[in-house]
């Protein structure tokens, strides 16, 4: 009998009202490795969680911010202690290799310590008054109940990017993780609650964080409909993001969206080729290509195109596939059967509709134990042109489209020829080209001589165009999303002073 997991509502672990469960399985060993059963929650569960968060907000907002930060300090410590176990279980539930799930967990730890210290800053701003004997101040105030909806590809890092700053700012949280990665979410909430109890002691407040498992269709939609959720932070597909913006907009909810990407790496003829090769391998096939910042297009200068493609194909064909908790594995499976089908669909588009040339992969990997999981061979299409679908649409799998360019201007034009704008990269040793690329590439993130992936927790993270709606996560920037500004005027003149009237 496999373990049945629970929701966390109002400080208690409890089963959903539905009494139903969904299975969480290992994508590298689908039939044999059942991780656990997670609640299929209902609208009623969501309502209960939101009401508990609403009630808890009245107390949590009054806990001094440095003390709220202390909770996050303990969270970081507990995550550090449990890092190996968290990474092992994360690999088991979503497939990326253990070094990467350790990195995912470390990003959560970094975010916790950053948030802990932010509890002692949360700086407001002062400005001089235009009147005598008057003081002008402004403060950051919490917004209220935060609805957090996350995808499966960074099951720890992405929830922490949202939940930790939300909490430090004094908001309370209702969290719906992806149905494919519920176990990491359970561990995270367990850790947060343990830290709350340790730091707050007898002043513990139930309902500050709530976890509701279930599908986007039911639980996610219930977030949108609930009038007591004041803000929604969402990371996921552009399609769902648009729906959240539409419904949330109607209710005047504050909405932060981190959506899709079609990221590209440019390689110029003067670049360090070994470095550029290693970067594209890591960028395109790390996390089995299932990163929002994955390198999905490679834009090669015509003078190095043939050489680079030859060397890249050779290196790619040597990547070792397997269960990510085993030694010597470079690439794990796709996260689900459905995700592998999407990849296969796009390989067919590349071959039959776009008529690009396949130079490696293009098939399921089914040798030996690989047949037990959703493995797909790292795939490269060459002779891709900017108008092809495989050059424009997000695939979210181990598929790279290689495009030839004439010069830097052409490369940047090709790079910008997508509806998305998350990450980007250029390999060059020409300082003028590098600065021009920084100025002209339309993306939220640009790497010079680095892969498109590898964001750091204290830097702004997010994209332009269809990648989002202008907010940023990470670093100091996310604190703008989780707070409202309050302007305060203090008049100590002892008389009625009329701004813009008495002083002019
Ligand atoms: P998704 O289908 O949009 O799902 C994301 C989350 O939204 C899941 O928790 C999902 O629940 C939920 N959801 C689905 N429909 C919903 C609805 N109608 N209302 C409210 N919530 C709903 O995305 P995904 O397939 O999991 O993840 C891949 C996508 O995420 C890619 O497009 C990728 O680029 C993007 N992504 C972006 C970033 C970034 O920072 N820009 C980072 C990572 C991923 P379920 O559990 O039912 O699926
Ligand atoms: Mg989905």
Over the stretch 252-263, which tens digit does the pLDDT of each residue have? 999 999 999 999
Q: Are residues 142 and 39 in the same domain?
A: yes
In a domain, 152, yes or no: yes
- What ligand 1 atom has the least distance to the C-alpha of 176? 9
Alpha-carbon radius of gyration of the chain? 24
Rounded (to 5) percent helix, strand, coil in the chain: 40, 20, 40
The neighbouring-strand residues paired with 172 are: 145
**Top-confidence residue, 2 or 24:** 24
Output the CA 260–ligand 1 centroid distance in Å: 9
> What total number of domains does the chain contain?
2
Q: Contact at 8 Å (CB) between 22 and 36?
A: no
Q: Contact at 8 Å (CB) between 337 and 374?
A: yes
290: pLDDT confidence band, cut at 50, 70 and 90?
very high
- Residue to substitute in 163, 233, 237, 338 for testing ligand 1 pocket (most ligand atoms within 8 angstroms of CB): 237
In a domain, 501, yes or no: no
Q: Using a 6 Å cutoff on CB, does residue 235 contact ligand 1?
A: yes
| Region 9-37 average pLDDT | 98
Distances (CA, A) of 181 to 39, 50, 152, 293, 325: 13, 22, 6, 19, 16
Give me the pLDDT at residue 337, please: 98
Residue 91 predicted with pLDDT over 80: yes
| Sequence-ordered strand ranges (E) for 279-387 | 295-301, 357-360, 379-384
Q: What is the CATH number of the domain that holds 419?
A: 3.40.309.10
Output the CA 441–ligand 1 centroid distance in Å: 26
47: pLDDT confidence band, cut at 50, 70 and 90?
very high
| Region 344-366 average pLDDT | 98
Give me the pLDDT at residue 392, please: 97
Can you give the residue range of the structural domain that contains 305? 263-448
Give me the pLDDT at residue 129, please: 97
Catalytic (active site) residue 292 = yes
Under DSSP, the state recorded for 302 is T
Q: Using a 6 Å cutoff on CB, does residue 153 contact ligand 1?
A: yes
Output the CA 491–ligand 2 centroid distance in Å: 54
Q: Are residues 332 and 480 in the same domain?
A: no
Among protein residues, the one with the nearest Cα to ligand 1's atom 40 is 258
Q: Using a 6 Å cutoff on CB, does residue 292 contact ligand 1?
A: yes
Q: Are residues 368 and 481 in the same domain?
A: no
Residue 207 predicted with pLDDT over 90: yes
Q: Are residues 210 and 277 in the same domain?
A: no
| Region 310-338 average pLDDT | 98
- Look at residues 245, 248, 282 and name the one whose alpha carbon lies nearest to residue 265: 282
| Region 237-245 average pLDDT | 97
In a domain, 11, yes or no: no
- What ligand 1 atom has the least distance to the C-alpha of 243? 18
The rounded distance, in Å, linking the Cα atoms of 56 and 264 is 44
Q: Contact at 8 Å (CB) between 426 and 448?
A: yes
In a domain, 235, yes or no: yes
Residue 1 predicted with pLDDT over 80: no
Q: Using a 6 Å cutoff on CB, does residue 332 contact ligand 1?
A: no
Local structure of 403: helix, strand or coil: strand
H-run or E-run covering 424: strand 423-427
Give me the pLDDT at residue 445, please: 98
The rounded distance, in Å, linking the Cα atoms of 231 and 209 is 15
Note the Cα 198 to chain centre separation in Å. 29
Give me the pLDDT at residue 504, please: 86
The rounded distance, in Å, linking the Cα atoms of 384 and 354 is 8
In a domain, 456, yes or no: no
Q: For 53-79, what is each residue's pLDDT tens digit?
A: 999 999 999 999 999 999 999 999 999
Give me the pLDDT at residue 503, please: 84
Residue 232 predicted with pLDDT over 80: yes
Select which of 93, 118, 258, 394 is catalytic.
258
- Residue to substitute in 27, 40, 107, 151 for testing ligand 1 pocket (most ligand atoms within 8 angstroms of CB): 151
In a domain, 21, yes or no: no
| Region 155-183 average pLDDT | 98
pLDDT above 70 coverage of the chain, percent: 100
Q: Are residues 103 and 244 in the same domain?
A: yes
The rounded distance, in Å, linking the Cα atoms of 388 and 330 is 29
- What ligand 1 atom has the least distance to the C-alpha of 239? 3
Q: Are residues 363 and 423 in the same domain?
A: yes
Give me the pLDDT at residue 179, please: 98
Q: For 397-412, what is each residue's pLDDT tens digit?
A: 999 999 999 999 999 9
In a domain, 14, yes or no: no
Q: Are residues 119 and 211 in the same domain?
A: yes
- Which ligand is closest to the CA of 151, given by its number? 1
Q: Contact at 8 Å (CB) between 268 and 408?
A: yes
Q: What is the CATH number of the domain that holds 251?
A: 3.40.605.10
Q: Using a 6 Å cutoff on CB, does residue 378 contact ligand 1?
A: no
Average pLDDT, the chain: 98
Output the CA 178–ligand 1 centroid distance in Å: 7
Q: For 467-492, what is each residue's pLDDT tens digit?
A: 999 999 999 999 999 999 999 999 99
Distances (CA, A) of 20 to 5, 16, 41: 11, 7, 8
Q: Using a 6 Å cutoff on CB, does residue 215 contact ligand 1?
A: yes
- What ligand 1 atom has the least distance to the C-alpha of 258? 41
Tell me the pTM.
0.98
Q: Contact at 8 Å (CB) between 469 and 257?
A: yes
Q: Contact at 8 Å (CB) between 339 and 289?
A: no
The rounded distance, in Å, linking the Cα atoms of 126 and 144 is 24
Give me the pLDDT at residue 491, please: 98
In a domain, 478, yes or no: yes
């Amino acid at each position: 009998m496999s373990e049945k997991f629970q929701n966390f509502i109002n400080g208690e672990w409890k089963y959903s009202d539905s009494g139903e469960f969904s299975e969480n399985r290992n994508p590298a060993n689908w039939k044999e490795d059942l991780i656990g059963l997670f609640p299929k929650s209902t609208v009623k569960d969501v309502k209960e969680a939101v009401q508990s968060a609403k009630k808890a907000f009245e107390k949590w907002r009054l806990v001094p911010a440095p003390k709220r930060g202390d909770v996050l300090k303990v969270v970081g410590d507990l995550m550090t202690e449990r890092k190996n176990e968290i990474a092992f279980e994360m690999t088991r539930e979503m497939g990326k290799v253990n070094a990467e799930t350790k990195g995912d967990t470390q990003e959560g730890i970094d975010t916790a310590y950053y948030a802990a210290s932010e509890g002692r800053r949360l700086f407001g701003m002062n400005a001089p008054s235009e009147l005598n004997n008057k003081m002008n101040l402004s403060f950051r105030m919490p917004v209220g109940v935060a609805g957090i909806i996350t995808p499966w590809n960074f099951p720890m890092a992405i929830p922490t990017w949202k939940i930790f700053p939300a909490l430090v700012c004094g908001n309370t949280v209702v969290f719906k993780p992806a149905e494919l990665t519920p176990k990491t979410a359970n561990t995270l909430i367990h850790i947060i609650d343990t830290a709350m109890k340790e730091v707050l002691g007898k002043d513990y407040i139930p309902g500050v964080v709530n976890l509701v498992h279930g599908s986007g269709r039911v639980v996610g939609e219930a977030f949108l409909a609930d009038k007591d959720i004041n803000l929604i932070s969402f990371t996921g597909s552009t399609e769902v993001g648009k729906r959240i913006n539409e419904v949330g907009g109607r209710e005047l909810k504050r909405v932060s969206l981190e959506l899709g990407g079609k990221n590209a790496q440019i390689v110029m003829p003067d670049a360090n080729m070994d470095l550029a090769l290693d970067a594209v391998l890591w960028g395109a096939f790390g996390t089995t290509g299932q990163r929002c910042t994955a390198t999905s297009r490679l834009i090669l200068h015509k003078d190095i195109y043939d050489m680079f493609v030859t060397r890249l194909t050779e290196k790619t064909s040597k990547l070792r596939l397997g269960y990510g908790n085993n030694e010597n594995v470079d690439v794990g499976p796709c996260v689900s059967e459905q995700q592998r089908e999407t990849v296969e669909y796009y390989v067919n588009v590349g071959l039959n509709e776009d008529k690009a040339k396949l130079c490696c992969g293009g098939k399921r990997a089914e040798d030996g134990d690989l047949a037990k999981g959703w493995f797909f061979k790292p795939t490269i299409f060459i002779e891709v042109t900017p108008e092809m679908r495989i050059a424009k649409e997000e695939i979210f799998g181990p598929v790279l489209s290689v495009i030839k360019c004439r010069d830097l201007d052409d490369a940047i034009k090709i790079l910008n020829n997508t509806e998305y704008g998350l990450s980007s990269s250029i390999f060059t040793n020409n300082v003028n080209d590098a600065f021009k690329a920084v100025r002209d590439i339309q993306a939220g993130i640009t790497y010079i001589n680095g892969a498109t992936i590898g964001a750091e927790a204290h830097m702004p993270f997010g994209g332009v165009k269809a990648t989002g709606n202008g907010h940023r996560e990470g670093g100091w920037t996310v604190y703008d999303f989780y707070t409202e500004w309050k302007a305060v005027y203090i008049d100590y003149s002892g008389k009625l002073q009329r701004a813009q009237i008495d002083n002019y």
